[in-house]
A and B are shown apart, each in its own frame.
Chain A
């Protein structure tokens, strides 16, 4: 059982108009096997939270803590965080020309595990995971994210989630840009990863529709850089009916 704790997190970014505070004191605790949905209107700081957990250099933590089983995550580089068990499924995965998906996956797996995976079982595992996500075998010879459709990029993110087996995954608007079929396939991948590895999930989304497929244990409503309300799955139903308006007035 692992625990990811976010305590009083304040995060700023540099903008043309100077430094701007985006997160204003976020408190959140996620345990293995739990699914937390972070919901909120555009601009509320949801993605900033995701990037801050993963350690993107653009985001400066000015106050507060992130602890993974008591270890100070903020002192770790992004790769150290990944090796410690954190995973971010990105909203906009970048293209890496000249690096094939298979090479990339093997390199990442080797980095995470500290040793190269045994070849035959690894190939089999990748193939199975790809089949589960309805990805064509030819996919692994394409360059990372290059020319991928929106749906392919998201499947590729979830493929990594299943293969790298982190303790906690932050899914940054993984549902955006997916049609119903793709949403279902991607959600099944997240659920498989959760079952297989007792994964803790922080699901960031603007819409409730992904919650039909990935059932949250907790729902946190994010407004203006902090948690405005928390509850169980029923809170999502209320948001579905009422929207975010009442938080914004």
Chain B
């Protein structure tokens, strides 16, 4: 197992001091000298940084209102691409009242350089599950704000399952009310370039957030996740766990996990973890956990990152039960990712994702 290394060569930027603006011209051009873009060559964005058109793909499965007044009320964009989405001024409002069944919104991308903005409100006391299922082609930049009201409970699942040449970026900002619960699950498997930046901050004490991720990069996929938890209020809990598999010499994944515990955030409890399973030589997994702590009065804070090959003992156990090595390896990878996928709660969607992972493992799908 290789342990993680903290980035060198680029000055460390305190995440909370990052520029936030609605105006694209406030942001410098994207460069690998900028910490937040250091792993992603700008060519891979297919022009999402150069200005966007309105979304012309398909949104189906949920009732959507337009309510422009809400835009920016959780957070202004933190990067140029997200600011380009904001500049379109076209907001889709999803208002979640309590419901029994999980809600599914299919977002089918089409066309290049398009922007899509959501505002999701989860009502006070409401318990909901919402799946944003991204499929399709082209290049899409998304900006999502999520208002998790006091005493409410929201599970938001963002699935990136686009076609081989597609590009998707998604900036997601959630604000958690008092004693609320937020579970954020990311599954990234399809698309040439995938970049998801979920950020959580708190509007009331006693909230809990769990951020989970599963990803599988093969071929020449670049899959990047940058979760951020801003512990700005006391007695909140965060747990971040992302698991990834990489296959093929050009596959590249990036995980940068930022947790900030501010002076006011006494009684914080936080843990972040990233594990990467490297299935072949040459694949590259960058994994950088950053933990900034400004108060000593916390309940606990930890982080772990490990990237490595198969656990020989797991393989031996399965083989000792008659399962051939190649099948045992597939089983271990599927299980590794299924640990996250099984928490989606929609069996059909889970089966679909698992069969895509299986096809990727068998080399049948990029």
A interface with B by C-beta (< 8 Å): 54-58, 77-79, 81-83, 87-88, 90, 93-99, 104, 107-108, 111-112, 143-144, 160, 164
A82 is contacted by which of B320, B331, B334, B338 (Cβ under 8 Å)?
B320
Main secondary structure on chain B at its contact with chain A? helix
CA distance A157 to B316 in the complex (A): 14
A143/B335 in contact, CB under 8 A: yes
A-B contacts besides A79-B322, A87-B320, A99-B331, 12 pairs, CB < 8 Å? A55-B320, A58-B312, A79-B321, A79-B328, A81-B320, A96-B318, A98-B338, A98-B339, A111-B323, A143-B335, A144-B335, A160-B321
CA distance A93 to B321 in the complex (A): 12
A-B contact pairs, 7 of them (CB 8 A): A54-B316, A78-B316, A79-B323, A99-B334, A111-B323, A112-B321, A143-B339
CA distance A144 to B313 in the complex (A): 13
B313/A108 in contact, CB under 8 A: no
Residues of B within 8 A of A144 (CB): 335
A97/B336 in contact, CB under 8 A: yes
User: Quick one: which of B294-336 are within 8 Å of A by CB?
Assistant: 311-314, 316-325, 327-328, 331-332, 334-336
CA distance A83 to B318 in the complex (A): 12
Question: What is the distance, in angstroms, from A57's C-beta to the closest C-beta of chain B?
Answer: 7
Question: What is the distance, in angstroms, from A173's C-beta to the closest C-beta of chain B?
Answer: 16
Residues of A within 8 A of B334 (CB): 98-99
B311/A111 in contact, CB under 8 A: no
Residue from A87, A98, A111, A112 whose CB has the most chain B CB atoms within 10 Å:
A98
Main secondary structure on chain A at its contact with chain B? mixed
B316/A57 in contact, CB under 8 A: yes
B327/A111 in contact, CB under 8 A: yes
B313/A164 in contact, CB under 8 A: no
CA distance A104 to B323 in the complex (A): 10
Residues of B within 8 A of A143 (CB): 335, 339
CA distance A146 to B192 in the complex (A): 34
A78/B342 in contact, CB under 8 A: no
A96/B314 in contact, CB under 8 A: yes
Q: What mask results when residues 201 to 238 of chain B are scored 1 for a CB within 8 Å of chain A, else 0? A: 00000000000000000000000000000000000000
A90/B317 in contact, CB under 8 A: yes
Residues of B within 8 A of A164 (CB): 321-322
Residues of B within 8 A of A82 (CB): 319-322
In chain B, what residue has the closest Cβ to A105? B321
Q: Is B337 an interface residue (CB 8 A)?
A: yes
Residues of B within 8 A of A99 (CB): 331-332, 334-335, 338
